[in-house]
Chain A
């Protein structure tokens, strides 16, 4: 489904990622761990096509991403749900409006956009906060809004960059339960985190694979747990 073959990425001539070879099997839960600055965010940016590999090849959903034009890139991105570390919510829109942004982009009409919205807001615990604006939300509420936005159009792949980085441990647990539940529903999930405690807690709930990133290269295993 997602396959990286000898992928490398240089920034200003400096290698950030080197010879990354990995694949994400559909329906799996994956952690991407490593210290700060190891290149986790860069790897997620490659997978969301925000950056393009400077070496190797990246295939998404069976198709190579090299040479994709801007329109094809947009279509491919609609199959990916992204949870940003800094939420990236639009402050001038309400929670409900933020959540349905991907549906508007997909061209759904207003009544279609509302169909599953209340269930989704209920699921992330924001049933009573649909009219609130992001500046009125706590960090946990913002992140739950971001998760709802990431999954509302039923993406094939969910990428989460340090989704618990700005919340307390209790909220972190709740957020991870949301992500594991999505995985149980068949979604492929990749969570980048430097919090190994979080990895341990989730591995007790689902069969999660851990990809460890260090010094720009990737290894797989649980030895660091």
Chain B
């Protein structure tokens, strides 16, 4: 049944020079499936890291933090004064002081559940929304320091920059890994194709002796191998996508950016692209190998 389907798909004029089952088929399809699996993982990491980096970069340009140091008694007044000052500055869209609950939630990871925040010298915090990149943080800080004692403006640059660098680095590493996996997988598929061809050298010779022409024999061999590799790579990529779905999202950015799980459409496009790449590598490698093998035959 598989063979009939393959022949119909390929429109082969020649008899299939290799069986549709057996170790040679599993070798070619299995190598391609492994490539598909690894490629989808590395590509997803690359895309996720790139999205995360972009998201953080965007967030850096849109948000800043204002905080007012203790003493507590004067914090509300100083917050109001600082907020008023900031709202009058160009590049500031809004200043939104955090509610007590929001502030408690923010500090929970460090102080634990139910910490007595009223008794602790913690700063009062406001979320500052920016537009057009916001004002220069150093200038804002200078004006705040003169007008509101204990007020501090944090443009997030100090901690976002290393994170951005890390995300960019992770993205670069993922793409390098993708390139290396592609090269290794291409070699692996190529070797599998050559092994498949070598194991059918007798068939090639027979087809030649029965009057077969090189281009048709090559087509009968290469077409089937190519289709098998493409199908194998696609299935491997789908398995990779399924594996990614089982993982938690380890790189959550704002609004879910940086997820390693591509969307359904994105995943399907990736799997299709990987299948095409595997097919192309197999086609080229097998064609070269088959031509070289046929040239040695009478």
Residues of chain A touching chain B, judged by Cβ–Cβ distance below 8 Å, are 48-52, 70-71, 73-78, 80, 82, 88, 90-93, 97, 101-102, 104-107, 149
A52–B298 CB distance below 8 A? yes
The 9 closest A-B pairs by CB, nearest first: A92-B19, A78-B211, A77-B211, A74-B213, A50-B298, A105-B212, A88-B206, A74-B211, A101-B15
Q: A70-B214, A90-B15, A105-B14 are in contact. Are A82 and B209 (CB under 8 A)?
A: yes
Residues of A near B22 (CB, < 8 A) are 92
**B13 touches A (CB below 8 Å):** yes
* Cross-chain pairs A/B with CB under 8 angstroms, 25 sampled: A48-B209, A50-B209, A50-B298, A52-B298, A70-B213, A71-B213, A71-B214, A73-B298, A74-B211, A75-B211, A77-B208, A77-B209, A77-B210, A88-B206, A92-B3, A92-B18, A92-B21, A92-B22, A102-B210, A104-B13, A104-B14, A104-B15, A105-B210, A105-B211, A105-B212
B20–A74 CB distance below 8 A? no
Option from B21, B203, B216 in Cβ contact (under 8 Å) with A90: B203
Option from A51, A52, A74 in Cβ contact (under 8 Å) with B212: A74
CB distance from A166 to the nearest CB of B (A): 17
Total A-B residue contacts, Cβ distance less than 8 Å: 60
| Count of chain B residues with a beta carbon within 8 Å of a chain A beta carbon | 23
Residues of B near A97 (CB, < 8 A) are 15
Task: State A102–B15 Cα separation when bound (angstroms).
Answer: 9
Residues of A near B212 (CB, < 8 A) are 74, 105
Residues of A near B213 (CB, < 8 A) are 70-71, 74
Residues of B near A104 (CB, < 8 A) are 13-15
Residues of A near B216 (CB, < 8 A) are 105
Residues of A near B211 (CB, < 8 A) are 74-78, 80, 102, 105-106
Q: B1-30, CB under 8 A of A: which get 1 and which 0?
A: 001000000000111101111100000000
B207–A105 CB distance below 8 A? yes
Task: State A140–B247 Cα separation when bound (angstroms).
Answer: 60
Task: State A75–B216 Cα separation when bound (angstroms).
Answer: 13
Residues of B near A106 (CB, < 8 A) are 211
Task: State A68–B298 Cα separation when bound (angstroms).
Answer: 11
Residues of B near A78 (CB, < 8 A) are 210-211
A88–B202 CB distance below 8 A? yes
- Interface members, chain B 166-218 (any A CB < 8 Å): 202-203, 206-214, 216
Task: State A195–B207 Cα separation when bound (angstroms).
Answer: 29
Task: State A100–B214 Cα separation when bound (angstroms).
Answer: 19
Task: State A102–B21 Cα separation when bound (angstroms).
Answer: 23
Q: B51-63, CB under 8 A of A: which get 1 and which 0?
A: 0000000000000
Residues of B near A105 (CB, < 8 A) are 14, 207, 210-212, 216
Task: State A50–B210 Cα separation when bound (angstroms).
Answer: 11
CB distance from A52 to the nearest CB of B (A): 7
B13–A107 CB distance below 8 A? yes
Residues of A near B3 (CB, < 8 A) are 92
Residues of B near A107 (CB, < 8 A) are 13
Residues of B near A71 (CB, < 8 A) are 213-214
What residue in chain B is nearest A101 (Cβ atoms)? B15
8 other contacts beyond A70-B214, A102-B211, A107-B13, with CB at 8 A cut-off? A48-B209, A71-B214, A92-B16, A97-B15, A101-B207, A105-B207, A105-B211, A149-B210
A93–B13 CB distance below 8 A? no
Task: State A149–B209 Cα separation when bound (angstroms).
Answer: 12
Task: State A92–B203 Cα separation when bound (angstroms).
Answer: 11
Task: State A88–B206 Cα separation when bound (angstroms).
Answer: 7
CB distance from A103 to the nearest CB of B (A): 10
Task: State A74–B204 Cα separation when bound (angstroms).
Answer: 13
Residues of A near B15 (CB, < 8 A) are 90, 93, 97, 101, 104
Residues of B near A93 (CB, < 8 A) are 15-16
CB distance from A135 to the nearest CB of B (A): 12
Task: State A52–B19 Cα separation when bound (angstroms).
Answer: 31
Task: State A75–B214 Cα separation when bound (angstroms).
Answer: 12
Residues of A near B210 (CB, < 8 A) are 77-78, 82, 101-102, 105, 149
CB distance from A104 to the nearest CB of B (A): 5
